Structure 1
Amino acid sequence: MTKGFVDNNQALHAIYFYQKMVGSNSKPNKYTYPPLLKACGIVGVVEEGVQVHTHVVKHGLRGDGHIRSAGIRMYVSFGRILEARKVFDERAESDVVRWNAMMVGYRKGGDVDAAREMLEAMTEKNTVTWNGMVSGLLGWG
């Protein structure tokens, strides 16, 4: 349901649905959280986003790659780069999606040097990596 709401530009409905879900003692799963974190970032509801991330930790799902990526992007959207970095650093291994999210977060936050360091440290790069870095350097993103 949360994904359906987000996919149909109804992020607030996704958040409201989740609140009802939690209130009725329904147990969310690993598929609930990525679109929900995205919804919080879209709407810009920092407090709710932090609460959702707390639920992720409470339910033992913080190691899920999709949830971690969504958490990084959510914190970046709030301008909370330190929190995004904490989510990034929670586990030693990361894939190109999380590296890209963190690199773009630094770039959007104005820390081009940190973004460049991320780029240089990445062992795997893809088109999104290069587009993310180049668009920032050219002022497109």
Structure 2
Amino acid sequence: MEAARKVFDKLLERDVFVRNMVIQGYANVGPLVEALNMYDRIRFSGVPANRYTYPFMLKACGAMRDGKRGRIVHGHVVKCGLDSDLFVGNALIALYSKCEEIETSRRVFDELPEKDSVSWNSMIPGYTASGNPREALMVFRSMLQDHATCLPDHATLVCIPPACFEASAIEVELWIHSYII
């Protein structure tokens, strides 16, 4: 990231795409606080953030378990009218799940007009990690019933067994094993 940042600092024009790439780099490899700092620079420079900026920012906030900062960014998302965007919504679900704010995560999930496997796969481990494995299994069952929008994928099949174990749901584990085979 050091080399990328040096190149960025030498650029005369820094559009939102270039700034997003730097935020993404920091959100992926760190230091995470630099993603937050870059976002602040974007906001104060007058270059508007876009639907690609927010998922990177929310990822950094989630990785830092910084729910307070995440809520601030969520407010910016709402002001920009991107709260119903699928990618931004998925990032919000993951943020709140990682920050153990599962009720807020569920509210964002329920309000998304469209869901994909990332939406479902963020809720399932979120419930499991927050001590609600039965709720995780209920989300999984809802996913199966809503199969018109998406089916379980590899990530689902990785995140559901811990919920089964925690909830002592042997029959679901056996079904998943059969499904995989």
With structure 2 as the length reference, what TM-score do the two structures score? 0.72
CA displacement 1:23-48 (0-9 Å, x = unmatched): 22221011101110010011122211
17, 20, 41: which one pairs with 2:41? 20
CA displacement 1:80-138 (0-9 Å, x = unmatched): 00110111011343111101101111111110110111111112211111210113444
Aligned length: 139
CA distance in 2, matches of 1:37, 1:94: 18
CA displacement 1:30-68 (0-9 Å, x = unmatched): 110111001001112221110001111110111221111
Q: Shift in Å at residue 13 of structure 1? A: 0.2
Give ranges in structure 1 of 5+ residues lacking alignment: none
CA distance in 2, matches of 1:116, 1:45: 27
Structure having the higher Rg: 2
Q: Percent identity?
A: 32
Residue 36 (str. 1) matches residue 63 (str. 2): no
Q: Compared with structure 1, are the counterparts of its residues 93 and 31 closer, same or farther at alpha carbon in structure 2 (3 Å cutoff)?
A: closer
Q: Shift in Å at residue 9 of structure 1? A: 2.0
Q: Partner of 1:105 in structure 2? A: 126
CA distance in 1, matches of 2:135, 2:158: 17
Q: SS at the partner of 2:39?
A: helix
CA distance in 2, matches of 1:135, 1:82: 20
Give ranges in structure 2 of 5+ residues lacking alignment: 1-21, 167-181
Q: Partner of 1:51 in structure 2? A: 72
| 2:134–2:163 contact (8 Å) kept in structure 1 | no
Greater relative CO (CA pairs within 8 A, separation 6+): 1
Moved more, 90-99 or 8-17: 90-99
RMSD between aligned residues: 1.4
CA distance in 2, matches of 1:38, 1:54: 15
